[in-house]
Structure 1
Amino acid sequence: MNRGQSRAAAWLVGASALVMAVPALAQTSAPTGGNGGEDIVVTGSRVISNGNNSPTPLTVVSAQDVLATQPTTISDALNTLPVFSGPRTQVSNPNAGIGAGGGGNAVANQLNLRNLGAQRTLILLDGKRVAPTTSNGIVDVDTVPQFILKRVDVVTGGVSAVYGSDAVSGVVNFVTDKDFSGVRANVQAGISSRGDGRQVEAGLAWGGDLGDRAHLIASYEYRDDEGILYRSSRPKTWQTVLAGNGSAGAPFFVASNGVRADYTFGGVIRPFTGTANNSLVGKQFTAGGVLIPFVPGTTTSAPALQLGGDGAAYDGSLKAPLRSHQIFARLDYEVSDAVHFYVEGAANFKRNVYYSSWQQITNLTISKGNAFLSDAVKTAMGADTQFSMSKFIGQAPRLTSAIDERQIFVNAGLDGKLGQNWNWGLGFVYSNAKLSNTEGANLNTRRLLAALDAVKDGSGNTVCNVTLTNPGLYPGCVALNPFGQGSESAAAIAYILGDTHFTAWTDQTDVSGSVSGNLFETGAGPVKVALSGEWRRQAYKAVSDALPSDTGNCTGLRFNCNANTVQWFQTFANRSRVSQTVEEGAVEVEVPLLKDSPFADSLSLNGAARYTHYNTSGKYWTWKLGLDWHLTDALRFRATRSRDIRAPTLEDLFAPAVTTPAGGTTDLLVVPNITSTAATVSQGNPSLTAEVGETTTVGMVWKPVFAPGLSMSLDYFGIRVKNAILTINGTNQTFQQVCYQSQGASPYCALQDRPLGYVNNTAANAATLWRTQTVNVADIKTWGFDFETNYAARLGAMPISLRGLVTWQPHIRYVQPGLPTFEMGGVAYGQNGLQASPQWRVTGIVNFAPTEHLAVTVLERWRSGLGLTADPTQFAAGPNVPSYATTNLTVAWKVPSGGKEFEFYVNVQNLFDNLAPGANFGGTQGSPGLFGGFPIGDDPVGRYFSAGARLKF
């Protein structure tokens, strides 16, 4: 443990028992504007008017306070809370495909409660559902306007009966500051201690009354984060791989300096599969096209992976650049004393860019007659007429995904009162999200094959052979010299690369109505009821100019082309417009049972039920029961039981077939194991049905009378997701082994195509195609405890507040037929992209004001150590991934300015520069330096400085 970790551990021992001044369950809402107001609304219920009476655990955080401790994006700030785990962020594992968890933007910032998947966390803005921003139905939280936010409510329990589908693990509700008056401004800049990752932010908000009945607020925010463009800028994690294959004889272990054994930057000769043309195998090209021996590194059980030696590694981006513009406005108008109108709109424009693989030549045939081959090489070939080679084209641009997101959100409605005890509301929400993915430097496969076939023309010039045999078929073809590092001309590189485009549109229309009020009075208080109805339609379509169906045109190409050869290295399929409609009706009741009795200051029962009809996936009932028991003013107990659903998304149901080229997958059937050259095809499954969640929470809140300002809460949660929707991939080593052990009888054998069945282990039976399929196949089970403690006091004459949040989640089990149970609790990586799930996650915050104008905030995060694999049949030699902690420090100075609030601040993230420990998962053995390298949730950037100024008047 280094000095930073020692300090962090010591700090946590004290801080985790202390608390911060913001009550964990307090929920308030100020008037929205004009002379009117609104009833307090608790996220997670339509009838409870005080968060202290909510049976569902509810954590409220001030948006500005949490951003002050982590002054980047709102998702980064919220992910400091331990209830979130395994998030996808700007430093997540990028994937150039449209799927694989990214939904078109693999570095979108997402929120993942309990590490059950962002798709099971419902995102709301002012209580209204936010439409998906990615094609897989997930919300990129960066699109939520954050400069005008008042607070964020996090409900850590299933509430589908209140809000509908997706609220399985909980709800995150972003609440705007509707009553804001005045002007607020912020300017901030930041840079890492290594001089990269520069970031600039600026925001402006205004609010004020328009006459006696109207109130208007508006905000604009700009963010420009240049990211970190090379993973090699952090050598500790860059080439970290998980070596071994998980067997008893070759257990997994974390290793550094991983490289692809079958690629170099100059080109390496590969075994030729067509004839005996193998005289040059074991040689590589160096500068000038000279052949020298290839020096291998330490071999591993994965054929494509070696440790050290002359092999090459990828170097993708570590942190994706982000640039965004956020605009928000809201108007509240009191039509009368009993009727209130509101309309709010948001427009968000965001760009992410991430860089993935080098341009590559993969096991392509080269003719002895190639015009760029030297006489020495031709002589060395002897009687051989061809050879195969692979290389990374290091001087060419990397494959680049530039993702532009544009979202428009309009929320309008009327609400009012009917008499003294009844409220009503009508709402209309429209969202439209456009995601445009430009694949920059996409490799045009056919142009590459044409350019590699270089010959001499009648004048002695080196040209593409196709220009002689089929003039006009490949206009502008420039012959490519692949022999040696830096051998390719700029003109040839420009010829074989091009930009392709994929654009997806998602729109959502939602109409809702509700009425709530007191049915009648009892001795313990009023019985409250809320009735609501909702109609929602969501539609999705996509177009692409690089189609996976564009295959097989081999006219004029002598080598390497066949019926399966696609036009572009990265392809996307078109998706004609598909839609689904949802009709819902719900009722919620709160029944007070006791008040001021010997057994309780108060006791109430809360219940809700919802009927949901999806035209695509069926009809469902969801429900929730909750109990809130105030034993005394100081001690209360709460409990809930709910049935929740997540319906399959349009992408789950109707995603078109997408073909991804071979990516270093190990074919475990062939002996000895080989690196597969087969592509992977994935597509939707229209037979999917909704998954069903069952959630139980039981907790207590204690505010001891002997310690004013102190509060503590402890909550148990247990969640089971039945019929869970999972994406299973035939390249997964566990699925492969189950298939082969069954000798072809397992349903997982359908995830791969082979010419000779699933027993023959010769090279002639190598896989010809891998499949990725989405199915209702699993049960997911998790349980644990959340602990929160808050304390506000004075240190001398000055205020101090402390807050500690702890989550213990020992198990996240995935149960699938025919497979061992995967245990993600306490594991760094799992199957199908599952991310780190520490059993213990702790956050501590201390606020102290040593003087009237100076404020100091310290935020500490710690997670427990992690194992290497979730599969109990696999072996790991260790060591496991160690525990990890970071410290953030913020110092703010308020300048007296005659009624105006003017503040300078400095923030240091990861104060002790504790870089994430190196780790990786088995699926990256064929791509060292491209994916992973550290557990998601840890910080690979290191110490980061930010400074800025805030103004409010």
Structure 2
Amino acid sequence: MKKNMRNAIAASVSAMALICVAEAASSDAGFERADNSVALEWNIPAQSLTDALIAWSEQSNFVVLIEDDLTAGIRSRELIGAFTSFEALERLLAASGLTYKIRDEQTLIVSPRLQTASMTVPADVNNAAGMRDSQRVEIGRERDDPEQSGRRSDSERSSADRDQIVVTGTRIRGASPAAPIQTITRQEIERSGQSQTGELLRTLPQTFRGGINPTVQPTTVNTNSGLGGDSTVNLRGMGPDATLILVNGRRLAPIGGGETTDVSAIPLAALDRVDVLLDGSSALYGADAVAGVVNFIVADDYDGAELRARVGGATQGGGFEQTYSAAAGERWKGGSFLVGADYLKQNPIFAGERDFSETAGPLNSLLPANRQWSGFMSGNQELSSFVELDVIGLYTNRRASRTTEYGAGGFADSKTVDTESFLIAPRATVELPAGWTAQIEGSAARSTRDIETTDNFGGDFDAVSTNTAWTIGAATEGKIARLPSGDLRAAIGGGYREEALDADLGGTLRNGTRNIAFFFGEASAPLVSPSEDRLGLARLELNVAVRVEDHSGFGAATTPKAGVRYAPIPDIVFRGTWGKSFRAPRFDHLLADHVVTLWNAPNLGSADPGLAFLNFSGNPDLEPERATSWTAGFDWTPQFIPAFDLSVTYFDIDFRDRIVSPIVNLGSALSDPAHEPFVDRDPSASAQSAIIDAADQFFNISGLPYDPNAVLAIVNSGFVNASSQQVRGTDVSFRFAPGDVAFFGDFSWLRIDTQTIPTFAVSRQSGLIFQPAEFRGRGGASWEIDDSFTATAIVNYVSGSKDNVAMPAAEVSSWTTLDLTLQYRLGSLTNALDGFEASLSVTNAFDEDPPFAAGGGVAFPGMLFDSANASPVGRFIAATLRYSL
């Protein structure tokens, strides 16, 4: 009986679509669709998504192209109220895991987004989003024979098929990744109140502020903060070089010998969304994807123009910011083009402008001065019914400057850093017989940095480095066989990548080239076909992947990955992944200058007065890092609680041969027994002379004259392969949107344990000063009023930590801040203001200072806070005016 009913519904859908297609064919002018600038009254009850889309199609006068069974088992939520056609469609698709793209004036395409999580939506929340066959049909058009081979007709062959190629989490069309994914949508970017890409990503609880970022201060742990205004993404606190950064699936060139990717080179104005893959994924994307992948998706298919201006500043002083951007795009049949530019200027914030750092050197830059120009473009064109070309391009030119003082009136230097970077990435997509698709793509990226340093002794230092990276590759994807439970699909491909560094560090040359040849394969199999009636086994899917990379100088590495998705009932999906990751040593790991620094010994943890050498250098004998990671979790979307989604994920990453500087915290280098194998006590004068003579650079920052008899120790902190590092924890996300108010939350528990050498005990790294917090969370609500006003409030929380640098050790308090954003469409006041939107954002609304941490000033007096876990900016208010046409 139920089967007959489903057949009857399917027949009615086909009949409705035939009517729609016939009406479109008989109309000389095509569809007279509703004006999307006009709000219509909608009254679509909660029902199957198929029926809801039919109701939407009837009222909006659009033909909807959709895959067969794409909406199987998915129910839409009630839609009542006045909305434009597209706003109504977005609400119907909100929790389905589906998205849409306008094909032409008559037609739009509904396809899997496949990354359903976001800052406000838990990962992969819709368990039924993957319940589909791979053959595509239109709502209302009779379905082709699923076994039919050969090319489709021109009317059937469209960009819809190419649009469904997933760029994050899998390379197989129609597959649902088992890995946890966060997606930050364009709407959420607007509501975040952020204007810079790095700060946007650092709001996620799964990221760590520490590393190379503009507001991170030089400390006993991090002596290389964001000198050039750089912003990196540090997932799980495993270091920014363990997170792979992509733009539409292509790699950028890294910055300097550290080979970290500067995401501030990607303007927010260029983005359609950001996908954050929270799982080791070397099998899919190659080396460096140990902690995860951040894929920035550049907007395309945009028709119109937009102007935007933003001004803001910190209420405690400094940091005044101006941002101006413009973008224009045009869409035509078979293609589109988008071009835009972005300008940012931000004044510095100095330590003397904040009470919590008033005893530090007043010229210390808590936030560097920054001026940045960016340009971007994207375009695509169908050359024929089965060939499409697309291209993306980015360009950034930035100048940043900052001053560092080691105590008031002490050793100081000022740096001016000029950075220029670009990316160009073309791709050709070809539809092959039997439903297969092939892609040939390439990318070329370059980043150049010039650092001019002047110290208070009158010395000048100029360092220039150029990084280049280019890739060429090809891949094909399609159906291997038709199983009783669905299509067995696969993707295979390979390519070649070259990375190079050419640096002149004040006369010290550092050059390196790395060649990587790679081959990958992935397969996705529905082991059990989807069914809403089979209790305990509604669906079962398996995904496997493997990649082989041959790195020049390090040999071949094979990295497998497997994922499974199991739905006992339509409301819940259990998922799990297992995989291996690989990362070759960075250029600076191998080639870093031999730098010797003379410190005041108490600043390195000595209980006795005197001096101590810090001896640092690269290590050409390093071995590659390897990791094994797994995740397990579930996504729950109960039908009996409308508009509620919950996602829970446990993760475990076991790092072996981790490349680290063995002294995790320089402030305890001479006091922690774990560091003894790397400390030479009471070195002779000849030993001191030997390391000074061997050094490429020597600095005396002790504030005292060098006296060999006063030197208590030599601390050796060059790069080594650590024995192991284990990173584990739990992520929890939820969303509840019963009406005009949407509640959301995202929380992450983290534990990092490190064993430097096998004979040492495992030590806890998380929860210490300058290290990742053991818990971070953010939650809030967004309220839409009359489709013209939106208010968003977000609470951010960072747990407290232990200050093991201070003597005696002390506790650092937690840090809680509130962010507010108000958006108003001015066109609701008068038609003369149509297209204008004004917004006001307040970051850290209660102006919470960073918690006191005495250890922050052990090596750098007066910097009594932990900038790796709290921002020194304070309350920041910004106003934005946007005009769209």
What's the TM-score once normalised by structure 2's chain length?
Answer: 0.76
> Partner residue of 2:743?
802
Give the direction of change, closer, same or farther, for the CA distance of 1:75–1:920 in structure 2 (3 Å limit).
farther
Whose RCO is larger (CA < 8 A, sep 6+)? 1
Cα offset for 1:213?
A: 3.4
Matched, 1:700 2:821: no
Cα offset for 1:947?
A: 0.6
Report if aligned partners of 1:752, 1:767 keep a CA contact under 8 Å in 2: yes
> Partner residue of 1:892?
823
Provide the secondary structure at the position in 2 that maps to 1:119. helix
Matched, 1:778 2:723: yes
Alignment of 1:383-532 (within 5 A): 392=410, 398-439=412-453, 441-443=454-456, 497=458, 499-532=460-493
Provide the secondary structure at the position in 1 that maps to 2:425. strand
Q: Distance in 2 between matches of 1:340 and 1:888?
A: 43
Q: Could you tell me which of 489, 511, 516 is aligned with 1:582?
A: 516
Q: Deviations over 1:856-899 (max 9, x none)?
A: 111110122211239xxx98542x11121100111111011479
Provide the secondary structure at the position in 2 that maps to 1:41. coil
Report if aligned partners of 1:848, 1:857 keep a CA contact under 8 Å in 2: yes
Cα offset for 1:113?
A: 0.7
Q: Deviations over 1:258-302 (max 9, x none)?
A: x8xxxxxxxxxxxxxxxxxxxxxxxxxxxxxxxxxxxxxxxxxxx
Report if aligned partners of 1:32, 1:178 keep a CA contact under 8 Å in 2: no
Q: Distance in 2 between matches of 1:687 and 1:757?
A: 23
Cα offset for 1:939?
A: 2.7
Cα offset for 1:598?
A: 4.4
Unaligned runs of 5+ in 1: 1-19, 240-258, 260-312, 361-390, 445-496, 548-572, 830-834
Report if aligned partners of 1:92, 1:932 keep a CA contact under 8 Å in 2: no
> Partner residue of 1:629?
566
> Partner residue of 1:928?
861
Matched, 1:231 2:302: no
Q: Could you tell me which of 904, 916, 932 is aligned with 2:838?
A: 904
Provide the secondary structure at the position in 1 that maps to 2:230. coil
Provide the secondary structure at the position in 2 that maps to 1:428. strand
Cα offset for 1:719?
A: 0.9
Q: Distance in 2 between matches of 1:579 and 1:33?
A: 47
Alignment of 1:547-946 (within 5 A): 547=507, 573-575=508-510, 577-595=511-529, 596=531, 597-659=534-596, 661-666=597-602, 672-676=608-612, 678=613, 680-729=614-663, 732=666, 735-736=669-670, 746=677, 748-749=678-679, 754-755=684-685, 764=709, 766=711, 770-794=715-739, 799-829=740-770, 835=771, 837-869=772-804, 876-878=808-810, 880-896=811-827, 897=831, 900-921=834-855, 924-929=857-862, 933-946=865-878
Q: Deviations over 1:579-620 (max 9, x none)?
A: 010111111111111113543221111111111111122221
Matched, 1:65 2:136: no
Write the letter of the residue equivalent to 1:666.
Answer: P
User: What RMSD in Å do the two structures reach over aligned CA positions?
Assistant: 3.1
Provide the secondary structure at the position in 1 that maps to 2:241. helix
Cα offset for 1:335?
A: 1.2
Q: Distance in 2 between matches of 1:669 and 1:812?
A: 22
Cα offset for 1:656?
A: 3.2
Report if aligned partners of 2:681, 2:712 keep a CA contact under 8 Å in 1: no
Give the direction of change, closer, same or farther, for the CA distance of 1:43–1:808 in structure 2 (3 Å limit).
farther
Cα offset for 1:826?
A: 2.2
> Partner residue of 1:460?
none
Give the direction of change, closer, same or farther, for the CA distance of 1:675–1:752 in structure 2 (3 Å limit).
closer
Q: Deviations over 1:520-575 (max 9, x none)?
A: 01011111111111211111011144x5xxxxxxxxxxxxxxxxxxxxxxxxx322
Give the direction of change, closer, same or farther, for the CA distance of 1:684–1:64 in structure 2 (3 Å limit).
farther
Matched, 1:355 2:403: yes
Write the letter of the residue equivalent to 1:214.
Answer: G
Matched, 1:202 2:324: yes
**Percent sequence identity over matched residues?**
22
Cα offset for 1:663?
A: 3.9
Q: State how many pairs are aligned.
A: 717
Instruction: From the CA coordinates, give the structure whose radius of gyration is larger.
Output: 1
Q: Could you tell me which of 57, 72, 81 is aligned with 2:204?
A: 81
Q: Distance in 2 between matches of 1:740 and 1:711?
A: 45
Give the direction of change, closer, same or farther, for the CA distance of 1:876–1:646 in structure 2 (3 Å limit).
farther
> Partner residue of 2:227?
105
> Partner residue of 2:879?
947
Q: Distance in 1 between matches of 2:224 and 2:431?
A: 45
> Partner residue of 1:558?
none
Q: Distance in 1 between matches of 2:838 and 2:636?
A: 37
Cα offset for 1:928?
A: 0.5
Give the direction of change, closer, same or farther, for the CA distance of 1:881–1:330 in structure 2 (3 Å limit).
same
Give the direction of change, closer, same or farther, for the CA distance of 1:751–1:842 in structure 2 (3 Å limit).
farther
Report if aligned partners of 1:32, 1:179 keep a CA contact under 8 Å in 2: no
Q: Distance in 1 between matches of 2:291 and 2:744?
A: 24
Write the letter of the residue equivalent to 1:949.
Answer: L
> Partner residue of 2:700?
none
Q: Deviations over 1:303-361 (max 9, x none)?
A: xxxxxxxxxx574111112211110112211111111111221111112211102699x
Q: Distance in 2 between matches of 1:157 and 1:893?
A: 38
Report if aligned partners of 2:473, 2:494 keep a CA contact under 8 Å in 1: yes
Report if aligned partners of 1:696, 1:717 keep a CA contact under 8 Å in 2: yes
Give the direction of change, closer, same or farther, for the CA distance of 1:751–1:134 in structure 2 (3 Å limit).
farther
Q: Distance in 2 between matches of 1:581 and 1:31?
A: 41
Cα offset for 1:404?
A: 1.1
Cα offset for 1:164?
A: 0.3
Alignment of 1:185-200 (within 5 A): 185-200=307-322
Cα offset for 1:671?
A: 8.3
Q: Could you tell me which of 297, 308, 320 is aligned with 1:175?
A: 297
Write the letter of the residue equivalent to 2:314.
Answer: S
Report if aligned partners of 1:664, 1:927 keep a CA contact under 8 Å in 2: no
> Partner residue of 1:93?
217
Q: Deviations over 1:494-515 (max 9, x none)?
A: xxx2543111000011111101
Report if aligned partners of 1:667, 1:767 keep a CA contact under 8 Å in 2: no
Cα offset for 1:107?
A: 4.6
Give the direction of change, closer, same or farther, for the CA distance of 1:85–1:183 in structure 2 (3 Å limit).
same
Report if aligned partners of 1:529, 1:590 keep a CA contact under 8 Å in 2: yes
What's the TM-score once normalised by structure 1's chain length?
Answer: 0.70
Matched, 1:323 2:382: no
Provide the secondary structure at the position in 2 that maps to 1:76. helix
Report if aligned partners of 1:757, 1:765 keep a CA contact under 8 Å in 2: no
Provide the secondary structure at the position in 1 that maps to 2:301. coil
Q: Deviations over 1:216-267 (max 9, x none)?
A: 1111000111120x2121122444xxxxxxxxxxxxxxxxxxx8xxxxxxxx
Report if aligned partners of 1:314, 1:928 keep a CA contact under 8 Å in 2: no
Cα offset for 1:196?
A: 2.1
Provide the secondary structure at the position in 2 that maps to 1:600. coil
Q: Could you tell me which of 385, 394, 408 is aligned with 1:337?
A: 385
Provide the secondary structure at the position in 2 that maps to 1:132. coil
Q: Distance in 2 between matches of 1:706 and 1:171?
A: 35
Q: Distance in 1 between matches of 2:773 and 2:563?
A: 29
Report if aligned partners of 1:667, 1:673 keep a CA contact under 8 Å in 2: no
